[in-house]
Amino acid sequence: MTDKPSVVFLIPFASQNVRANWRVACRYLQQTIQSIRNSISENYRVVVAGNEEPELEIGFDSKVHFLSLNSPFPSHPNHRVTFRLDKLAKIDAAWRYARANWQPKYVMKLDADDFISSRLVGWLDDGGTEAGYLIRHGWFWRSGASYLIHRTEYLDRVCGSSLIIRSDLADRTGPFLTEVEGVILDEAGSRFATTDHYSLVPGSGMTTLLLNDSHQRYASQFSYLGHELYTLPFNGLIYRVSPDSMAGATGDRVRKFNLRITLGNIRRTRFITQNLRKEFLLA
């Protein structure tokens, strides 16, 4: 077994203490791992970082490792920021483990409920030479839907599992932390972050290319470091959308949002084919 895999997938897994449904979370993680194991090329490694070992029908092995952590859940007045900080801490631990044990060509953060294309690892084996790749082309799948799925060319706008970083750049630093990760910006910086979702934000905090969650700003982050971020040339990922993804939105905002999204979804709706199920091992 080579110690130089083409890619290592880092999967942060939240504690049972903060999960609404631990059994469902474990089942989703198992499906994500199965989609990776479905890869045509076996030149990958996976590190799942969490507080409690998930209950899986399939076990961990030399290619898919569980990293047990005992770090406390972060404390922050903003509930969403707390979860992001917990996620980044787990990614940090997973990356340190991966870096110490292997010499991966690329590293990819992957949420514990998404699905990757069986072609992805093999493509990185053969064609991956650039500093990084953004997964813009992919699919939105409403969890449990049997027949319909939605195609998108803007996956990176909503999905954090959208960046593949060449490993020698993962620890490069820059002003990449924003209010998303709990940084307090001045009024001008906060206003800029609200109106411009793709540029670097004045007043941002320093962190590495890997350890931030501002996925819409990845191209600007690469540019800051003197590199171009390329687009993966095929549909690389299925982003699982939970039924309560619109929870918290109310009133006119919901109606306007739903109307715009509904019209867009109709235009982009496709049937789930057997080839698609096979490529992503879609549950």
Q: Tens digit of pLDDT per residue, the chain (283 long)?
A: 458 999 999 999 999 999 989 999 999 999 999 999 999 999 999 999 999 999 999 889 999 999 999 988 888 889 899 999 999 999 999 999 999 999 999 999 999 999 999 999 999 999 889 999 999 999 999 999 999 999 999 999 999 999 999 999 999 999 999 999 999 999 999 999 999 999 999 999 999 999 999 999 999 999 999 999 999 999 999 999 975 443 333 344 334 445 565 666 678 899 999 999 999 999 7
E-strand stretches of 69-158 = 106-109, 115-116, 132-134, 138-142, 148-152
The conformation of residue 52, written as its DSSP 8-state character, comes to S
pTM listed for this prediction: 0.91
Residues 6 or more apart whose Cβ sits within 8 Å of residue 215: 156, 157, 159, 160, 162, 163
CA–CA separation, 11 and 33 (whole Å): 9
Given this model, what pLDDT does residue 256 score? 45
Given this model, what pLDDT does residue 128 score? 82
Domains of the chain plus CATH, in order, are 7-174+229-280 (3.90.550)
Given this model, what pLDDT does residue 25 score? 96
Please name the residue that has the structure tokens 């960046």.
Answer: 163
Given this model, what pLDDT does residue 141 score? 95
Given this model, what pLDDT does residue 262 score? 61
Given this model, what pLDDT does residue 258 score? 58
Please name the residue that has the structure tokens 């989609």.
Answer: 35
Given this model, what pLDDT does residue 244 score? 41
First to last CA, the chain: 29
DSSP string, 208-277: ESSS---GGGHHHHHHHTT-PPEEPSS--EEEEE-TTTTTT--HHHHHHHHHHHHHHHHHHEEE--HHHH
Evaluated on CA atoms 247, 249, 255, 260, the torsion sign reads: negative
Q: What are phi and psi for residue 210, nearest 5 degrees? A: -75, -40
Q: Residue type for 251, please?
A: G
